């Protein structure tokens, strides 16, 4: 039961993250192109820069979590691939633990920063929206990536094989590229 629930939760999180990444990137492109055209022929869209900043923050923080979960982050693949499996597993434990600690610390600091902005009542200049609402994704993104690194440690304890992330074994295989 818990395994089925875990798989359903993983598929749901994957769907949400991929949807946010795709739609956020597309919205950013449309907004910036529309702003360039508007600036060239009419008048610039006054809120375009603020919304673009928000979309960049959103895509970046969701991307951090996605990369940690799918093992799509920068790593020393050639170095790890040359190691025996036991040593590779030790390195993955060590790397995942350090990453989790750093990401949870970043989540705490970014939460404190966001809370300070909320207390000060900072608002965006064009839309007059509380700035902390744009920043709420930052501690969430850092914390979820930290959780994925903890899951990597647990997966490596549970499984005999080496896992780079909760969803990616050490044998790095490219996802489908439609023949390219």
pLDDT of residue 70: 79
pLDDT of residue 1: 66
State the pLDDT confidence band at 131, using cuts at 50, 70 and 90: confident
Residue 124 contacts residue 50 (beta carbons within 8 Å): yes
> Cα-flanking dihedrals φ and ψ of residue 75, to 5°?
-150, 170
Q: What is the pLDDT of residues 3-23, one digit of tens each?
A: 777 678 778 888 888 899 999
> Cα-flanking dihedrals φ and ψ of residue 20, to 5°?
-65, -45
| Lowest mean per-residue pLDDT among 44-58, 83-97, 160-174 | 160-174
State the pLDDT confidence band at 177, using cuts at 50, 70 and 90: very low
pLDDT of residue 22: 93
Question: How is the chain split into domains, by residue range?
Answer: 2-169
State the pLDDT confidence band at 2, using cuts at 50, 70 and 90: low
């Amino acid at each position: 039961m818990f395994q089925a629930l875990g798989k359903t939760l993983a598929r749901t999180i994957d769907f949400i993250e991929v949807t946010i990444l795709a739609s956020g990137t597309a919205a950013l492109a449309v907004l910036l192109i529309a702003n360039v055209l508007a600036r060239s022929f009419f008048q610039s869209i006054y809120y375009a820069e603020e919304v673009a900043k928000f979309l960049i923050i959103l895509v970046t923080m969701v991307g951090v979590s996605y990369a940690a979960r799918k093992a799509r982050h920068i790593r020393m693949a050639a170095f790890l691939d040359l190691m025996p499996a036991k040593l590779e597993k030790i390195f993955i434990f060590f790397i995942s633990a350090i990453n989790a600690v750093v990401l949870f610390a970043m989540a705490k600091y970014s939460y404190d920063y966001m809370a300070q902005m909320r207390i000060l009542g900072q608002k965006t200049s064009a839309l007059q929206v509380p700035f902390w609402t744009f920043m709420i994704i930052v501690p969430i993104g850092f914390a979820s990536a930290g959780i994925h690194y903890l899951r990597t440690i647990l997966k490596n304890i549970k499984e005999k094989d080496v896992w780079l992330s909760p969803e990616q074994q050490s044998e790095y295989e490219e996802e489908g590229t439609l023949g390219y």
